[in-house]
Amino acid sequence: MSVALLGAALFLLSVEGNAMADTVNFDNAATGAAPEGWTLTKTGRGQPKWTVEAESTAPSKPNVLKQSGQATFPVALRNGTSILDGFVGVKFKAIAGSEDRAAGIVWRAKDADNYYVVRANALEDNVVLYKTIKGVRSALDIVGRKGGYGVKVSVPSGQWHSLRCEFAGKLFKVTYDGKPMFEVEDESIRDAGMIGLWTKADSVTVFDDLTYGALN
C-alpha cells in the first residue's frame, strides 16, 4: 500500500472509529413523492424536483432519491443534522443532462446559500470542491497545488459511483469510488451545519445509501 493510500485509510479509520454513522436509503419512503425529513430547495433560480423512485439497479433496493428538475443548483438538506467535524458520503448515478450531469454532497450548510459541496461531473469527467457563500459558488484550491480545477477522473454516466468527504477543522479529504482524490483546506464556514445532496442545472441524477456522522 502506498503512503498516500495508507494515510487515507488511517484517516478513514480515525473518523469512523470515533463517529456514529447514520444511513438513509429511501427504501421505506413512498415512491413518486418528495421524501420526508428533508428541506428540498435550491441555490439560485429554477424549479428542482426531488422524488423517491423505484430503481432496479439501486445499490440497496428498491428505492433511490432522484433529482429531475432544473435549477441553478438543486439542493436537498437533511433536516435535524448539525455536524461540525465528521463525514458524508453517497452512492450516485448520473442519468442525463445536456448542460450538466453532476452529483454532489453538502456539509456545514447553514441554508441553501451557504455550504461546502464536492461534486463529480459526468460531462466534464472531474471532481471539484467548492464553497458557496451568500449564494456565490467558488472552487477551492487543492492542498499542494495553486490554481487548477479539481481533479480529472472518469465519471461514466449510467453507472453507480461513490463520493465521500471527511471534514475536520479546516481540512477536507475527498474520496471517489473508494480512491483518495485530494485534500482542501478552508475556514470560510466554521460552524456546524446540515449535510445534504446537490446537483446542477438540468442534471438528472439518482442517489442511494447516504451515510453521515459526526466525530465524538
The enclosing domain of 78 has a CATH number of: 2.60.120.560
Confidence of residue 189 (pLDDT cuts 50, 70, 90): very high
From the list 79, 103, 108, 113, the residue with the least C-alpha distance to 155 is 103
pLDDT for position 3: 38
What are the tens digits of pLDDT across the range 94-105?
Answer: 999 999 999 999
Query: How many angstroms separate the CA atoms of 203 and 191, rounded?
Result: 30
Among 4-13, 166-175, 177-186, 196-205, which is the least confidently predicted range? Answer: 4-13
The pTM of this model reads 0.90
DSSP 83: B
- Report how many domains make up the chain: 1
Higher pLDDT, 148 or 173: 173
Alpha carbon distance, N-terminus to C-terminus of the chain: 29
What are the tens digits of pLDDT across the range 23-75?
Answer: 999 999 999 999 999 999 999 999 999 999 999 999 999 999 999 999 999 99
pLDDT beyond 60 at 192: yes
pLDDT for position 18: 55
pLDDT beyond 90 at 8: no
What is the average per-residue pLDDT within 9-36? Answer: 75
What is the identity of the amino acid at 209? D
pLDDT beyond 50 at 153: yes
pLDDT for position 216: 66
Residue ranges making up the domain that contains 180: 3-215
Higher pLDDT, 17 or 53: 53
Percentage of the residues of the chain whose pLDDT score is greater than 90: 87
Kindly report the backbone phi and psi dihedral angles of residue 14, in degrees, each rounded to the nearest multiple of 5, phi listed first: -65, -35
| Residue 144, Ramachandran bin (φ over 0: left; ψ between -120 and 50: alpha; else beta) | left
Query: Average pLDDT of the chain?
Result: 92
Q: Which residues of 21-42 are buried (b: 16+ CB within 10 A; e: fewer)?
A: eeebbbeebeeeeebeebebbb
pLDDT for position 7: 41
pLDDT beyond 90 at 209: yes
pLDDT for position 24: 96
Query: How many angstroms separate the CA atoms of 110 and 125, rounded?
Result: 29
Higher pLDDT, 73 or 16: 73
pLDDT beyond 70 at 17: no
Higher pLDDT, 179 or 8: 179
